[in-house]
Amino acid sequence: MNTLAKTISGKYLDSVKLMLISKELRSLKGVEDAVAITATKENKEILAATGMLVPDAEAASETEIVIVIKAADEETAKAAMQKATSLVENPPAPVSGIISSEVRNLAKAIEILPEANLCLISVAGKYAAAEAEKALDKGLHVMLFSDNVSLEDELALKHKALKKGLLMMGPDCGTAIINGLPLAFANNVPTGNIGIVSASGTGLQDITCGIANRGCGITQAFGTGGRDGKKEIGGIMLKACLQYLMDDTDTEVIVLMGKTPAPEVLNELMRLIKQTHKPVIVNFLKQIELPELPNLQSSVSLAETAELACQACKKPYTEIDSPVYKIPTLPQNRKYIRGLYSGGTLCQEAILIYKRLFGAEPFSNVGAKLLAEGWHTQEDSYIDMGSDEFTVGRPHPMIDYSLRLKKLSEEAADKQVGVILLDVVLGYGAHPDPASELVPVLQKFPGEICIVCHVLGTDADPQDRQKQIAALRECGVYAFTSHANAVDFSLKTLMKNRENV
Amino acid sequence: MIKLDKGKPKVINIGLESFAADLLSQGAEVISVAWKPPLNIDKRWTELIERSRDKIEAANTKALEIINAGRPVLVGMGIAGDVIPGMHKNLILHAGPPITWEKMCGPMHGAIIGALLYEGRAKTPEEAEELAASGTIDYAPCHEHGCTGPMAGIISPSMPVFIIKNEAYGNYTYATQNEGLGKVLRYGAYSEEVIVRLKWMETVLYPVLSKAIKFLGTINLQGLIAQALHMGDEVHNRNRAGTSLLIRQLAPAILKTSVDAEQSAAVLDFINGNDHFFLNLSMPACKAALDPARNIPGSSIAVVMARNGTEFGVQLSAMGDRWFTGPALVPDALYFPGYSKADANPDIGDSAITETGGLGGFAIAAAPAIVQFVGGTAKDALSYTLSMYEICFGESSSYQIPALDFRGTPLGIDVVKVIENNLSPVIDTGVAHKNPGVGQVGAGVVKAPFEPFIKAYQALAESFDNYKE
Amino acid sequence: MECRGYLRASTKKISIIITLSLRNSPLLYLHKKHYLLDGFCSFLYSAPMNNMAIYKIQSIGEKLPLARFEKTLNRFSKVLNYAFKGGVLTLGMAPLCPGPFRIILESGDLQQVESLQLTADELIINDALAISYDESHAWKVVEPDKTQDFATLKPVVKESFDLYRQGLSEVSMAFFLISNAAPLKGFDEELRKTFQLGLLKLEQENSPEFVPLFKGRGKGLTPSGDDFLCGYLLALGWLEKQGLGDFADLREALYKAALGTNILVNSFLFQSYKFWLDADWQDFFNAFACSDLNEVSHTQKRILGYGATSGADLLYGVYMALSKHLNLQGFKEAG
């Protein structure tokens, strides 16, 4: 039998709440008894009589509230106490409006908001296609955040959307900005004349932010989901969105990006590009052969893609803020780099740049040279922590930093690691204050380790980008606002120190 | 070609709430759907139903008109064996869908043993149990004989019953007199005090009430229920106002018709001491209003929901006397101290006829006091009632909810809407102990199981398949 | 029209507080990070919006000292308690009932209230917003009504106790004690044993010996046992005012024995001992005095809504006192 006690204080106590908490705790499996009481001398007598007067309860003062939990084992008691604490701090939200509980299906929602024109769907994959189909049938554009939708369903949905002149963004579409409204994981980007269609979520975020941070703006940022360029889907949405941007009078420059599409899809995209005079910048995340077209430029760097797009606007734009840091000198044994990413496209870009520089791929969980169990880093390693093996059953690392913090500490403790490279994604959907998670951990790191960080976001994002950067720099992080610069600095540091050996 | 209107999108969000919150923080117009995984329904059935929408709509309109036109009144009393159609000396009626002796739950067993002792068919409980299992005794659902019974719902031939008539359609329903709380037959108790009380109810309560009702002619139950709703009852789990209103009508008549002052006082005391006395009138009143809406081809409205402590049964207007059943669930209720879900019997009783008739859990917004009793808030009560409008075909024209600005209660449970909204009826009920005679161990607002509704939906869908055009 | 403005800066935010009082109109209180001062009409127009509340006083208790109150004991969504020398001030939103130690606001936003200062004609919130009040707002302690008919008093008490039993929360002390159904365990069982012993003692003796068995014991922010004792004191006070006995010595002895270290509890004990009733209690006892069961039941329901079980425990104390001193039988049998 295990008994735990904890004094709770603060001004948000309410006896009804306390009663509900002890009731909830008692219903937990393995909990023998649980009370939340004022720690009067007399109540302590009763606790003593029932074997629950542990020192922590004894220590509580007469006017304090103490929670005492008696459970079958320590683990249960601890878990129950944790639950109690969270209940005290975050009491269950009051039954919100009757309105929200009344809207149980799409039809009802449309009844209430008849002007609705877009449906954002993020339910579990196996139900997602059915919901998306209903939304399309009702004439709504769809952004399907959910993944684990079959290729057949994706194809059917996209055909249906095309027939109705609707957007079918996704499945697995994490980012879009439609008529200035950021959806799901997206940033606050000004309106301008660059239109983007992307099969990559983080790629789309990084390019839109790159554009915003250079003082330019966008018309639309369409996401298509990662598989649109595959042979099976045939680039339906890539083509449709490209066509839209070609026809759209507000759009003067077009950016097209995503993993390299299947050859037949690529051909069709090129055929379309040939039909427009608008400048088109493509980024297929690797160097490929492209036809020579007067309006076509290509890049494999996200930063450069944004730069090219801004150049093509033929309007003055600002250079991106590129801090000049002195390359640090690391102890001899600290010779390896570890990349810990939350954004998949960013991780791939980092691997690509590494490969270009060193001629060989680093270890990673997403590239050709796979890490053992994806988790055990060795030598130079890059991990995309947003990939499935890390996100099953837990929130995405852009929202929940706990796993990345754990990994960060592990890497820092490895005496062979000299440089750690990471991304911090800001914007809607992301963690409300990443620095508050990172700083306490980073502060404990030895000074001899070099932490390089790419902060993805705009100054208009809810997290306050400048504050985030300042907080990170304060604890010795080499923070950048361009991914290419961050990667470049990390590798230069690595090389310089290797030369010194 | 993609066509995209100018202006910020107006968004319907299905899934992660945080996305909606982010959109709201940007000043966008967003509606969030409280989404639940859909029921596993065969696409073929959905198509059949979809094809027949107009027919269902027309049939339901008719059914609702009939229910709303009903005028249940108490017309008198009689002995079960004399007045209930098909009642005979070896027949015992029980709550819920049909069930065999072997499959009955503890409280129902106990109540049948009690009924046999009361009938003088056995001298000891053991003898009664033997007789009950011997095959001599027939069992049938109350609902199949125009009756309704709370909890175990046992009616045996000698029991006095109320006779309720739907004046608009001329049909009759019946129910016994409510015994009160504590050790009572409907919770499966059969000790001597239970039998003695039943005998008293037969020899004193019944004659006195019977005479008083005869003197009054009729008592308009619909009127009483409508008033009770304005006074904080929902006439399933709370019948305090209904019982009080009934006493106001009965008391003068009792005094005028009864010769024995002692007996009159005892009868009035008994009713006064039993807040649930009116339940045994609100239930048959609901049934009397619903029965004429049976057998309307194509109607997806439920005319019965009833539980026998083992199974939950539903009857559909379009489907005649067919029962659609599924296991009765152990209610997730609020248990009295010392009891838990482990002590509870699965859901039992015909009292869900009140919900079927637009009362009980459906009218709980009229009875905030009961929500406190079952561990909720007045706001919860409103949400329960509001959510039930979504699975009902229409609204009651007689019964109103003051808190909703006298809106009619949700009426006419539409099986198609239950399935499409993935929302099952709420039932405001008491919970019986699984062992005979212990009594009530909890109360709560519980959800009906989906299985009977899915089966009913399937049967309805398949019935449309048969009428090939 | 009178307009006063304050500019306040703190490390977290800059807030502009403006008070504006128009004759016969409510006071406005603005509190917002970026607020555009583009005319008073827009204030009035946007009054119901967030971050802005109209403060209106309903009542101010007469036993409150003219002083400054800044130490909050606890803070709930509709109630703030402040400790002061000699008691606890409760600032609450209507429909919380008025009382001698209470300030009740008709409207306002308690979450924004930090300090209070009470002067002879103004209530000043956060040193910034002054709301004037006058005699008409003062809430005064009055003598309870005299019982009209002692013959009907007992049956009304009995019936109201029956009603009380039916509406009990399952965690209240009375529920533990009255319902014989429950095999409790652990803490609850110990608590029940103690309370049962306390009730036994209470019945047998006319001395404060039962007090230690209740004092400081039980759940809630004010332990159930303390609430019980407050209720007991209240009922003794009432009986005495009705001329149904002289309990002055007993009341004093009980009060002294019940005092502990919890300021909130002590303040309630003091108020009960003095028989300075809050409005709900006044209504409750006056309903007894005219044997109006409906009114008793109505006010009882309001009291039952206090805290999780405080109201129920207070009432249980009242009924136990009435039962003993009116010689009523049958108050402890199972419900």
Q: Each residue of C230-277: pLDDT tens digit? A: 999 999 999 999 988 899 999 999 999 999 888 889 999 999 999 999
Mean pLDDT in residue range C171-181: 68
Task: Measure A120 CA to nearest chain B CA, in Å.
Answer: 5
Q: Does C181 touch chain B (CB under 8 A)?
A: yes
- Do both A123 and A41 map to the same domain? no
Distance CA A363, CA A377 (A): 8
Tokens 């005998």 sit at which residue? B199
- Do both C312 and C196 map to the same domain? yes
- Do both C270 and C166 map to the same domain? yes
The distance of Cα B460 from the centroid of its chain, to the nearest Å, equals 22
- Do both A220 and A269 map to the same domain? yes
Q: In this complex, which of C186, C191, C308 lies closest to A16 when CB atoms are compared?
A: C308
Q: Is residue C10 over pLDDT 60?
A: no
Chain C contacts of A63, Cβ < 8 Å? 261-263
Instruction: Mark which of C139, C161, C182 sits at the end of a domain.
Output: C139
- Do both A481 and A340 map to the same domain? yes
pLDDT in tens, C87-137: 899 999 888 899 999 999 988 778 778 889 998 888 888 877 778 888 888
Q: In this complex, which of A100, A127, A247 lies closest to B32 when CB atoms are compared?
A: A100
Q: Does A241 touch chain B (CB under 8 A)?
A: yes
User: Do residues C238 and C285 lie in contact, with contact meaning Cβ atoms separated by under 8 Å?
Assistant: yes
Distant-in-sequence, close-in-space partners of B394: CB < 8 Å, separation ≥ 6: B60, B64, B68, B408, B411, B412
* DSSP code string of A98-165: HHHHH--SHHHHHHH-TT--EEEE-S-HHHHHHHHHHHHHTT-EEEE------HHHHHHHHHHHHHHT
Q: Is residue C25 over pLDDT 50?
A: no
Contact A12 C75 (CB under 8 A): yes
Q: Does B338 touch chain C (CB under 8 A)?
A: yes
- Do both A189 and A299 map to the same domain? yes
Helices and strands in chain A, H and E counts: 18, 19
Q: In this complex, which of B334, B337, B372 lies closest to C175 when CB atoms are compared?
A: B337
The whole-number pLDDT of residue C179 equals 61
C16 DSSP β-pair partners: C7, C32
Of the candidates B202, B197, B204, the one whose C-alpha atom is nearest the C-alpha of residue B183 is: B197
User: Do residues B350 and B437 lie in contact, with contact meaning Cβ atoms separated by under 8 Å?
Assistant: no
Contact B336 C184 (CB under 8 A): no
Q: Does B373 touch chain C (CB under 8 A)?
A: yes
Q: Is residue A99 over pLDDT 60?
A: no
Q: Which two tokens stand for residue B19?
A: 């996305």
Helices and strands in chain C, H and E counts: 10, 13
DSSP letter at B310 equals: S
Question: Does residue C45 lie within any of the structural domains?
Answer: yes
- Degrees (nearest 5) of the Cα angle C111, C112, C115? 110
Mutate to test the interface with A, among C192, C221, C306 (most CBs of A within 10 A): C221
The whole-number pLDDT of residue C4 equals 38
pLDDT grade for B335, boundaries at 50, 70 and 90: confident
Question: Does residue A444 lie within any of the structural domains?
Answer: yes
- Do both A482 and A459 map to the same domain? yes
Contact B18 A429 (CB under 8 A): yes
The whole-number pLDDT of residue A500 equals 64
3 state DSSP class of C103: strand
Q: In this complex, which of B8, B15, B422 lies closest to A179 when CB atoms are compared?
A: B8
pLDDT in tens, B192-231: 999 999 999 999 999 999 999 999 999 999 999 999 999 9
Q: From residue B434, give the alpha-carbon distance in Å to each of B110, B115, B151, B211, B339.
A: 10, 18, 12, 38, 11
Report CA Rg, chain C: 23
The whole-number pLDDT of residue B374 equals 66
- Do both A232 and A184 map to the same domain? yes
B411 DSSP β-pair partners: B394
The whole-number pLDDT of residue B12 equals 94
User: Do residues A5 and A64 lie in contact, with contact meaning Cβ atoms separated by under 8 Å?
Assistant: no
Mutate to test the interface with B, among A112, A121, A399 (most CBs of B within 10 A): A121
Instruction: Mark which of C107, C139, C171 sits at the end of a domain.
Output: C139
- Do both A215 and A161 map to the same domain? no
Q: How many domains does chain C have?
A: 2
Domain residues of chain B, as ranges? 43-67+291-466
Mutate to test the interface with C, among B276, B336, B343 (most CBs of C within 10 A): B336
User: Do residues B72 and B164 lie in contact, with contact meaning Cβ atoms separated by under 8 Å?
Assistant: yes
- Do both A369 and A386 map to the same domain? yes
Q: From residue B98, give the alpha-carbon distance in Å to each of A81, A356, B161, B302, C126.
A: 48, 78, 21, 17, 70
- Do both C99 and C19 map to the same domain? yes
3 state DSSP class of B314: strand
pLDDT grade for A247, boundaries at 50, 70 and 90: very high
Q: In this complex, which of B334, B337, B373 lies closest to C182 when CB atoms are compared?
A: B337
- Do both C80 and C178 map to the same domain? no
User: Residue A54 belongs to what domain range?
Assistant: 2-89
A239 DSSP β-pair partners: none
Question: Phi-psi bin for A79: left (phi > 0), alpha (psi -120 to 50), beta?
Answer: alpha
Question: Does residue C334 lie within any of the structural domains?
Answer: no
Contact C221 A46 (CB under 8 A): no
Q: Does the N-terminal peptide bond of residue A171 adopt cis geometry, omega within 30 degrees of 0?
A: yes
Nearest residue on chain A to B6, judged by CA atoms?
A179
Contact A37 C219 (CB under 8 A): yes
Side chain identity at residue C209, one-letter code: E
Chain B contacts of C184, Cβ < 8 Å? 337-338
Mutate to test the interface with C, among A15, A63, A66 (most CBs of C within 10 A): A15
The whole-number pLDDT of residue A100 equals 39
- Do both A119 and A146 map to the same domain? yes
Task: Measure B334 CA to nearest chain C CA, in Å.
Answer: 10
Instruction: Mark which of C139, C159, C174 sits at the end of a domain.
Output: C139
Question: Does residue C89 lie within any of the structural domains?
Answer: yes
Chain A contacts of B383, Cβ < 8 Å? 95, 98, 101
Q: From residue B390, give the alpha-carbon distance in Å to each of A241, B360, B383, B386, B394.
A: 39, 16, 11, 7, 9
pLDDT in tens, B125-171: 999 999 999 999 999 999 999 999 999 999 999 999 999 999 999 99
Q: From residue A33, give the alpha-carbon distance in Å to each of A73, A131, A267, A329, B291.
A: 12, 44, 69, 58, 51
Question: Does residue A201 lie within any of the structural domains?
Answer: yes
Contact C167 B373 (CB under 8 A): yes
The whole-number pLDDT of residue C331 equals 57
Least confident of B120-129, B267-276, B311-320, C190-199: C190-199
* Termini Cα distance of chain B: 39
3 state DSSP class of C30: strand
Nearest residue on chain B to A244, judged by CA atoms?
B2
CATH number of the domain at A139, please.
3.40.50.720
Instruction: Mark which of A172, A187, A218 sits at the end of a domain.
Output: A172
Q: Is residue C8 over pLDDT 50?
A: no
Rounded to the nearest integer, the mean pLDDT of chain A is 88
When mean pLDDT is compared over A73-77, A215-219, A328-332, C39-43, the highest value belongs to A215-219
Neighbours of A48 (CB within 10 A): 13
Q: Is residue C52 over pLDDT 70?
A: no
3 state DSSP class of A425: strand
Rounded to the nearest integer, the mean pLDDT of chain B is 92
Question: Does residue C144 lie within any of the structural domains?
Answer: no
Q: Is residue B321 over pLDDT 80?
A: yes
Of the candidates A395, A451, A455, the one whose C-alpha atom is nearest the C-alpha of residue A427 is: A455
Question: Does residue C79 lie within any of the structural domains?
Answer: yes
pLDDT grade for B467, boundaries at 50, 70 and 90: low
pLDDT grade for C29, boundaries at 50, 70 and 90: very low
Chain B contacts of A180, Cβ < 8 Å? 8
Least confident of A49-53, C305-309, C329-333: C329-333
Distance CA C305, CA A225 (A): 54
The whole-number pLDDT of residue C132 equals 83
Q: Which CATH number fits domain B43-67+291-466: 3.40.50.10420, 1.10.760.10, 3.40.50.720, 3.90.1700.10?
A: 3.90.1700.10
Q: Please state whether beta strands C122-125 and C72-75 pair in parallel, antiparallel, or not at all (unpaired).
A: unpaired
- Do both A168 and A182 map to the same domain? no
Distance CA B427, CA B349 (A): 11
The whole-number pLDDT of residue A84 equals 83
Chain A contacts of C222, Cβ < 8 Å? 15, 38
Chain A contacts of B17, Cβ < 8 Å? none
* Touching B: C residues 253-292, CB under 8 Å: none
The whole-number pLDDT of residue B248 equals 93
Nearest residue on chain C to A17, judged by CA atoms?
C308
3 state DSSP class of B200: helix
- DSSP alpha helices (H): ranges in B231-352? 240-257, 261-272, 279-290
Least confident of C8-17, C55-64, C79-88: C8-17
User: Do residues B350 and B95 lie in contact, with contact meaning Cβ atoms separated by under 8 Å?
Assistant: yes
- Do both C129 and C178 map to the same domain? no
- Chain C residues with CB under 8 Å of a chain A CB are 72, 74-77, 171, 185-191, 194, 212, 215-223, 225, 260-263, 307-310
pLDDT in tens, C207-219: 889 999 999 998 8
A256 DSSP β-pair partners: A197, A282
Question: Does residue C145 lie within any of the structural domains?
Answer: no
| Burial (CB count within 10 angstroms: exposed 0-12, middle 13-18, buried 19+), residue A5 | buried
Question: Does residue C330 lie within any of the structural domains?
Answer: no
Instruction: Mark which of A71, A89, A107 sits at the end of a domain.
Output: A89
Question: Does residue C331 lie within any of the structural domains?
Answer: no
Helix (H) or strand (E) run with residue B373 in it = helix B368-373
CATH number of the domain at A51, please.
3.30.70
Chain B contacts of C298, Cβ < 8 Å? none
Q: In this complex, which of A12, A19, A70 lies closest to C186 when CB atoms are compared?
A: A70
Q: Is residue A180 over pLDDT 60?
A: yes
Dihedral (CA of A303, A305, A308, A309) sign = negative
* Touching B: C residues 141-170, CB under 8 Å: 167, 170
User: Do residues C97 and C302 lie in contact, with contact meaning Cβ atoms separated by under 8 Å?
Assistant: yes
pLDDT in tens, B404-450: 888 999 999 999 999 988 889 999 988 889 988 788 888 888 889 99
* DSSP code string of B209-236: HHHHHHHH--EEHHHHHHHHHHTT--SS
Pick the more confident residue, C206 or A394: C206
Subunits with at least 3 CB pairs below 8 A relative to chain A?
A: B, C
Tokens 């189909």 sit at which residue? A133
ipTM score here?
0.78
Mean pLDDT in residue range C286-310: 86
Mutate to test the interface with A, among B14, B40, B379 (most CBs of A within 10 A): B14
Chain C contacts of B336, Cβ < 8 Å? 170, 179, 181-182
Contact A15 C74 (CB under 8 A): no
Of the candidates A396, A200, A430, the one whose C-alpha atom is nearest the C-alpha of residue A300 is: A200
CATH number of the domain at A203, please.
3.40.50.261
User: Do residues A206 and A343 lie in contact, with contact meaning Cβ atoms separated by under 8 Å?
Assistant: yes
The whole-number pLDDT of residue C333 equals 43
Chain A contacts of C187, Cβ < 8 Å? 33, 35, 46-47, 50, 52, 68
Helix (H) or strand (E) run with residue A339 in it = strand A336-341
Side chain identity at residue B12, one-letter code: I
Q: Is residue A404 over pLDDT 80?
A: yes
- DSSP alpha helices (H): ranges in A327-367? 344-358
pLDDT grade for B311, boundaries at 50, 70 and 90: very high
Contact B15 A120 (CB under 8 A): yes
Q: Is residue B371 over pLDDT 60?
A: yes
- DSSP alpha helices (H): ranges in C127-172? 150-166
Q: Is residue A472 over pLDDT 80?
A: yes
Nearest residue on chain C to A63, judged by CA atoms?
C262
User: Do residues C322 and C314 lie in contact, with contact meaning Cβ atoms separated by under 8 Å?
Assistant: no
Q: Which residues of C152-167 are buried (b: 16+ CB within 10 A; e: fewer)?
A: ebeebbbebbeebbeb
- Chain B residues with CB under 8 Å of a chain A CB are 1-16, 18-19, 22-23, 25-26, 28-29, 31-38, 377, 379-380, 382-383, 386-387, 390, 420-423
pLDDT in tens, B36-59: 777 888 888 988 998 899 999 999
Question: Phi-psi bin for B141: left (phi > 0), alpha (psi -120 to 50), beta?
Answer: beta
Rounded to the nearest integer, the mean pLDDT of chain C is 77
Helices and strands in chain B, H and E counts: 17, 17
Contact B338 C175 (CB under 8 A): no
Contact B2 A104 (CB under 8 A): no
User: Residue C51 belongs to what domain range?
Assistant: 2-139
Mean pLDDT in residue range A241-260: 95
